[in-house]
């Protein structure tokens, strides 16, 4: 069955370190999204992509970057981790076109100490 996976599921890192969170989908979806979920804020969009070599900033993109070298993967990189980036991160994908529903991965819980 097609799916979307994230790794690692849990990560503890230190302030200042570079961290990369992986997202892989097997639906062949064009659109991919990264969100962070924090208590009281719901889900906030970090970055998104409409296809290979396309990336766009969301509402909370500072300190994060993404790259899209193939259809299946959209890794999220924290260039220099900060305690404010402690959060749960979700990746999602959607077919694009006139189909707007998104399908979510299981999430990565990141703690920055």
Partner 1 sequence: AQSVTQLGSHVSVSEGALVLLRCNYSSSVPPYLFWYVQYPNQGLQLLLKYTSAATLVKGINGFEAEFKKSETSFHLTKPSAHMSDAAEYFCAVSADNQGGKLIFGQGTELSVKP
- Smallest distance, partner 1 to C-beta of residue 68, A: 15
The residues that touch partner 1, with contacts defined as CB under 8 A, are 31, 33, 40-43, 45, 48, 50, 58, 90, 92, 94, 96, 98, 100-107
Number of Cβ within 10 Å of residue 78's Cβ equals: 21
Q: Is 85 helix (H, G, I), strand (E, B) or coil?
A: helix
Which parts of 1-113 fold into alpha helices (H)?
none
Q: Which is nearer to partner 1, 5 or 20 (CB)?
A: 5
Q: Which is nearer to partner 1, 14 or 40 (CB)?
A: 40
In angstroms, how far apart are the furthest CA atoms of the chain? Answer: 42
Q: Which is nearer to partner 1, 39 or 70 (CB)?
A: 39
- Smallest distance, partner 1 to C-beta of residue 90, A: 6
Residues 6+ apart with CB under 8 A from 63: 78, 79, 80, 82, 85
- Smallest distance, partner 1 to C-beta of residue 21, A: 14
- Smallest distance, partner 1 to C-beta of residue 112, A: 19
Q: Which is nearer to partner 1, 85 or 102 (CB)?
A: 102
Residues 6+ apart with CB under 8 A from 109: 9, 10, 11, 88, 89
């Amino acid at each position: 069955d097609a799916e979307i996976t994230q790794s690692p599921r849990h990560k503890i890192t230190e302030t200042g370190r570079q961290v990369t969170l992986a997202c892989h989908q097997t639906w062949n979806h064009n659109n991919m999204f990264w969100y962070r979920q924090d208590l009281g804020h719901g889900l906030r969009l970090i970055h998104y992509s409409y296809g290979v070599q396309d990336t766009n900033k969301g509402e909370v993109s500072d300190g994060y970057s993404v790259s899209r070298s193939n259809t299946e993967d959209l890794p999220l990189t924290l260039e220099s981790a900060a305690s404010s980036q402690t959060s749960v991160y979700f990746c999602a994908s959607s077919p694009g076109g006139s189909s707007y529903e998104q399908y979510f991965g299981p999430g990565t819980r990141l703690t920055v100490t």
